[in-house]
C-alpha cells in the first residue's frame, strides 16, 4: 500500500514538472526537477518503477523542449538544447544510481535475513539439544519453558498445560516459575481456541480478547503456540514481547520450536511408557524364574524316589513281573531319567539367571575328564555307527567346577554325535595355546545354518533344538565357560561339519 502511494506521488510530481517545463520559456530549463520523482521511486525499492520513471522523464524532457521551441517559431536555442541534453544525462545517471542503491539495499536485506535466520536456527538447535537432554516428562516441560524466551526472542513465555501447573520463564533468567493463580478468562479462551485450531496464532489488540490478553501479559505482542502430537494436546505456549507485531520469520521460528518441543515431549513420554513396561516385564521375568527354580528344585526329590521304586520293581523286589510289565517299567525309567535331566537343566539355568550359584572351583586335569567323556559316550557312538576319537595327551590343567566342566564338554560331544550321520567321525582334541587350554570338538556332520549361528549360544536357540533338545545345552556350555573365565565359539568345518572350541585359562601358566 505504501509503495503504491509513493509511485502515485512520483508520477504526479513528474506530470507537474513536465507541465511547468512546457509552459516556461526555452531558456528556463526546469527539467532538472524530473530527477526528483526518480529519487522518490527509489524509496519503494522497485527497479521496475524506477526504470519506467526514467523512460517517462526522458520522454517528458524531450516533449517539453519541443513545445518550448514551437512557442519560439521552432527556433532552437543552442544553450537550451545543451541544457536539455545535460538534464537527460542527469536523469539517466540518477536512475542508474537509484537502481544500484536498490540492488545494494536488497543485498543487504538478504544478508540480514540470512543472518537472522541462521541466528534463529542456531538458537533452535541449541534449545533442541537441551530439551532432549532429559527423558523425564516433567524435566522436559521445564526445559521447553526455560529455552523458549531465547529461542523465540520473547520477553516472557508461559506454559498453559492441558492439565497440571502453569509454568513461566523470563528472558535472561534460567529459573522456571510455577504460577499459582489460575489463568484469566481471556487467556483461557485464547488457549482453548488455539489448542482446538492447532495453528500458531499471533495475538493482536484488534479484538477484545486480544487486548485483554496483551494487557494481562503486559506485552505489546504475543504468539500462541499449540503443542500437540497425534491428537494428544500437551498445552499451549504463549510468548509475550514488548516489540511490535511479530514478522513472518518469528512465526516460522515459533512453528519450528513447537515441532522440536513436541518431539522432545513425545520422546520423554515414549521412554516413560517403555520404563513402565520394562519394569513390569522384569517383575514378570522374576516371577517366572522363581517358579522355574521352585518347580525344578521340588521335582528332583519325587522323581528320584519314583525312579528308585521303579528300579526295585524291575529288579523283582516286589515279586516276579511278566516281561510286558518289565518292558513298561524300563521305558518309564528312561522317561523319568529324561525328566530328571530336564529338571536339573532348568534348575541350573535358573541359578545362572538369578546369580544364586556358587561353583566349587578346583584344579582339574582336563585330559582325564576328556577320557572319561570318551568312555561314557562310546556306547552312544557305537549305537549310531560313528567313530569317536579322544586326543588328550597333553598337560592341560584348568581351574573350574569339575562337574560343570565335564557337563559342558559332554554337551559338545553329545551334540556332535547327535548331528553326525552314520559312518561319520567325531573328535575331542585338547591343545595348549600359550596361556590357554582349548578343547576342540570336530565332526563331519550336517553343520549349522548361517542364519542360526548368531544366536547359537543363547537360550532356546533353534540350532540347539534341531535334534529335539531343550535349546539350553549350548547356552549352559557358554555360561559354564564364562564362569570359568573362558569362552566357547563355533566355526564351520570344510567341506562339511562343525568345530566347537571351548577355551579356558591354562592353570599351569
pLDDT of the residue at 468: 46
User: How far from the centroid of its chain's Cα atoms is residue 305's Cα?
Assistant: 57
Residue 178 pLDDT > 80: yes
| Per-range mean pLDDT, top range of 23-37, 174-188, 359-373 | 359-373
Alpha-carbon span 83 to 472, nearest angstrom: 108
Q: Would you say 442 and 497 are in contact if contact means Cβ atoms under 8 Å apart?
A: yes
Instruction: Kindly state the cell numbers that stand for 48.
Output: 521496475
Q: Tell me the per-residue pLDDT of 78-102, one tens digit each, with 9 for 90 and over.
A: 777 777 788 888 888 888 888 887 7
pLDDT of the residue at 305: 64
SS3 state at 11: helix
Helices (H), 25-136: 35-41, 47-71, 78-131
The helix or strand, by DSSP H or E, that contains position 280, with its residue range, turns out to be helix 248-314
* Mean pLDDT in residue range 231-249: 81
Q: Tell me the per-residue pLDDT of 319-331, one tens digit each, with 9 for 90 and over.
A: 777 777 677 767 7
Residue 500: pLDDT band (50, 70, 90) is: very high
Which range is least confidently modeled, 58-62, 304-308, 382-386, 497-501? 304-308
Alpha-carbon span 243 to 246, nearest angstrom: 8
Alpha-carbon span 423 to 305, nearest angstrom: 40
Alpha-carbon span 131 to 29, nearest angstrom: 70
Distances (CA, A) of 411 to 208, 366, 414, 417, 458: 84, 15, 5, 10, 15
Query: Per this entry, what is the length of the chain?
Result: 509
SS3 state at 497: coil
Domain 131-269 CATH assignment equals 3.30.450.40: yes
Terminal CA-to-CA distance of the chain, rounded, Å? Answer: 93
Q: Would you say 472 and 459 are in contact if contact means Cβ atoms under 8 Å apart?
A: yes
Alpha-carbon span 475 to 485, nearest angstrom: 15
Looking at the DSSP bridge assignments, the partners of residue 156 are 170, 240
pLDDT of the residue at 286: 59
Q: Would you say 427 and 489 are in contact if contact means Cβ atoms under 8 Å apart?
A: no
pLDDT of the residue at 144: 85
CATH architecture observed for domain 361-505 = 2-Layer Sandwich (3.30)
Compute the mean pLDDT over every residue in the chain, rounded to the nearest whole number: 79
Q: Which one has a higher pLDDT value, 144 or 297?
A: 144
Residue 315 pLDDT > 60: yes
* Mean pLDDT in residue range 390-400: 87
pLDDT of the residue at 441: 94
Per-residue burial over 152-190, b if 16 or more Cβ lie within 10 Å, else e, is bbbbbbbbbbeeeebbbbbbeeeebeeeeeebeebbeeb
pLDDT of the residue at 360: 75
pLDDT of the residue at 465: 44
In 3D, which of 465, 459, 502, 505 has the Cα closest to residue 480? Answer: 502
Q: Which one has a higher pLDDT value, 203 or 295?
A: 203
Residue 75 pLDDT > 50: yes
Alpha-carbon span 149 to 228, nearest angstrom: 20
- Which position has the grid cell 524435566? 139
Instruction: Kindly state the cell numbers that stand for 327.
Output: 518292558
User: How far from the centroid of its chain's Cα atoms is residue 383's Cα?
Assistant: 57
Residue 4 pLDDT > 60: yes
In 3D, which of 315, 342, 336 has the Cα closest to residue 326? Answer: 315
- Which position has the grid cell 598337560? 395
Residue 429: pLDDT band (50, 70, 90) is: very high
Alpha-carbon span 436 to 397, nearest angstrom: 10
Q: What percent of the chain has pLDDT over 90?
A: 6
In the chain, what are the domain boundaries?
Answer: 2-115, 131-269, 361-505
Q: How many CA atoms lie within 13 A of 92 on its CB side?
A: 7
pLDDT of the residue at 387: 93
pLDDT of the residue at 79: 73
Instruction: Kindly state the cell numbers that stand for 52.
Output: 519506467
Residue 284 pLDDT > 60: no
Looking at the DSSP bridge assignments, the partners of residue 426 are 388, 443
Task: Look up the pTM and report it.
Answer: 0.42
Q: What percent of the chain has pLDDT over 70?
A: 82
pLDDT of the residue at 393: 86
Q: Would you say 57 and 37 are in contact if contact means Cβ atoms under 8 Å apart?
A: yes
Q: Would you say 420 and 448 are in contact if contact means Cβ atoms under 8 Å apart?
A: no
Amino acid at each position: 500500500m505504501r509503495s503504491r502511494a509513493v509511485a502515485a506521488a512520483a508520477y504526479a510530481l513528474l506530470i507537474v514538472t513536465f507541465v511547468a517545463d512546457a509552459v516556461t520559456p526555452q531558456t528556463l530549463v526546469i527539467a532538472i526537477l524530473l530527477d526528483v520523482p526518480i529519487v522518490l521511486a527509489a524509496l519503494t525499492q522497485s527497479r521496475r518503477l524506477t526504470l519506467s520513471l526514467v523512460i517517462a522523464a526522458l520522454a517528458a524532457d524531450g516533449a517539453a523542449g519541443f513545445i518550448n521551441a514551437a512557442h519560439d517559431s521552432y527556433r532552437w536555442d543552442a544553450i537550451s538544447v545543451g541544457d536539455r541534453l545535460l538534464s537527460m544525462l542527469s536523469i539517466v545517471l540518477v536512475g542508474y544510481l537509484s537502481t544500484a542503491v536498490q540492488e545494494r539495499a536488497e543485498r543487504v536485506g538478504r544478508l540480514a535475513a540470512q543472518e537472522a535466520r541462521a541466528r534463529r536456527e542456531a538458537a533452535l538447535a541449541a534449545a533442541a539439544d537441551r530439551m532432549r537432554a532429559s527423558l523425564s516428562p516433567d524435566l522436559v516441560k521445564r526445559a521447553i519453558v526455560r529455552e523458549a524466551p531465547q529461542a523465540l526472542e520473547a520477553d516472557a513465555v508461559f506454559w498453559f498445560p492441558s492439565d497440571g501447573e502453569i509454568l513461566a520463564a523470563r528472558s535472561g533468567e534460567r529459573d522456571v516459575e510455577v504460577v499459582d493463580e489460575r489463568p484469566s478468562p481471556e487467556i483461557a479462551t485464547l488457549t482453548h481456541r488455539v489448542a482446538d485450531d492447532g495453528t500458531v496464532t499471533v495475538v493482536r489488540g484488534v479484538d477484545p480478547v486480544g487486548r485483554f490478553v496483551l494487557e494481562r501479559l503486559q506485552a505489546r505482542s504475543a504468539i500462541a503456540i499449540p503443542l500437540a502430537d497425534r491428537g494428544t494436546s500437551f498445552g499451549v505456549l504463549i510468548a509475550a514481547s514488548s516489540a511490535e507485531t511479530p514478522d513472518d520469520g518469528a512465526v516460522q521460528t515459533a512453528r519450528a520450536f513447537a515441532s522440536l518441543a513436541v518431539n522432545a515431549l513425545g520422546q520423554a513420554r515414549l521412554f516413560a511408557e517403555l520404563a513402565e513396561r520394562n519394569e513390569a516385564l522384569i517383575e514378570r521375568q522374576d516371577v517366572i524364574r522363581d517358579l522355574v527354580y521352585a518347580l525344578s528344585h521340588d521335582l528332583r526329590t519325587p522323581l528320584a524316589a519314583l525312579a528308585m521304586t521303579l528300579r526295585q520293581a524291575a529288579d523283582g523286589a516286589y515279586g516276579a513281573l511278566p516281561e510286558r510289565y518289565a518292558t513298561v517299567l524300563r521305558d518309564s525309567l528312561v522317561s523319568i531319567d529324561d525328566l530328571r535331566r530336564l529338571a536339573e537343566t532348568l534348575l541350573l539355568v535358573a541359578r545362572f539367571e538369578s546369580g544364586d550359584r556358587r561353583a566349587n572351583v578346583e584344579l582339574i586335569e582336563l585330559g582325564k575328564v576328556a577320557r572319561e567323556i570318551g568312555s561314557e559316550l562310546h556306547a552312544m557312538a557305537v549305537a549310531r555307527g560313528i567313530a569317536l576319537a579322544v586326543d588328550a595327551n597333553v598337560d592341560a590343567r584348568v581351574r573350574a567346577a569339575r562337574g560343570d566342566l565335564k557337563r559342558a564338554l559332554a554337551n559338545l560331544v553329545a551334540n556332535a554325535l547327535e548331528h553326525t550321520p552314520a559312518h561319520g567321525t567325531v573328535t575331542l582334541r585338547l591343545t595348549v595355546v600359550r596361556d590357554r587350554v582349548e578343547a576342540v570338538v570336530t565332526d563331519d556332520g550336517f553343520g549349522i545354518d548361517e542364519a542360526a549361528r548368531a544366536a547359537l549360544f543363547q537360550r532356546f536357540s533353534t540350532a540347539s533344538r534341531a535334534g529335539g533338545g531343550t535349546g539350553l545345552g549350548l547356552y549352559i556350555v557358554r555360561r559354564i565357560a564364562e564362569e570359568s573365565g573362558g569362552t566357547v565359539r563355533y566355526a564351520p568345518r570344510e567341506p562339511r561339519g562343525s568345530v566347537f572350541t571351548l577355551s579356558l585359562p591354562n592353570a599351569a601358566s
